[in-house]
Amino acid sequence: MVDLMLYTIIRGFAIGVLVSAPMGPIGVLCIQRTLNKGRWSGFVTGVGAAVSDLCYALLTGLGMSIVIDFIEANQNLLQILGSFVLVGFGIFLYRQNPAKSIRKASNTKNTFTQDFVTAFFLTLSNPLILFLFIGLFARLNFFTPDTLRADYFAGYVSIFLGAISWWFTITYLINKVRTRFNLRSIWLINRSIGIIIIIMAIVGFIMGINSYFSLNLF
């Protein structure tokens, strides 16, 4: 039981990081606020995004728990399909230029509450995150028939902690190198994360294909 919970926690943390890391509109907004208003404004923005991501994770988990028998019977096939979803997302991320989302700094000073709320709803307005969660859940086998409620709870908490850890780290680093941080840095982050997701998807596809044919041939 402990091994299964640890398995779920590790994968949950990884999912939280991978969902948060791409430099989309919310990532750019977080960086902008860190550079213009300070580290904690950027971090609170990240927290708002993390809470919204957790909502999508719970929605994904609810949907997958309803069809748990189907998941059990088609685990390898779902891993293969999840890998395809991640490859598509990784390619999109690799080709994306987040610098186009950069806007001039506003003179308006938002409170931390406003930073949180705007980030929460901006993230919530992007339903593509749901497909990313579906791909990651399937690829990493986040749900298994043996998973208990306590494991699910630990997994969701880990997703949130993974997201929070990413935003804490990125805002800390940007604040430290603010004089040397530029648009190319955002572009490099996106390309690096895109490559990581593509590699992870390819490995998952190969493993899924191997397991699928092993079960059906022998």
Q: Tell which residue, 205, 199, 206, has the closest CA to residue 82.
A: 205
Domain total in the chain:
1
- Higher pLDDT: 132 or 43? It is 43
CA distance 83 to 202: 7
What's the CA gap between 56 and 160, in Å, rounded?
Answer: 11
Pick from 22-36, 37-51, 89-103: least confident: 89-103
Distance CA 30, CA 54 (A): 18
State how far the Cα of 53 lies from the Cα of 21, in Å rounded to an integer: 12
Is 167 in contact with 49 (CB distance < 8 Å)?
Answer: yes
194 to 23, 116, 215: CA distances (angstroms): 10, 26, 31
Domain that holds residue 153: 2-217
pLDDT for 147 equals 67
CA separation for the pair 34, 46 (Å, rounded): 10
The pLDDT value given to residue 159 = 94
Residue 5 near residue 147 (C-beta atoms within 8 A): no
Between 53 and 137, residue with greater pLDDT:
53
pLDDT of residue 129: 82
> Does residue 176 surpass a pLDDT of 90?
no
Output the six-digit token pair for 116. Answer: 């949180």
Q: Kindly give the residue spans of alpha helices, DSSP state H, lying in 97-148.
A: 112-124, 128-139
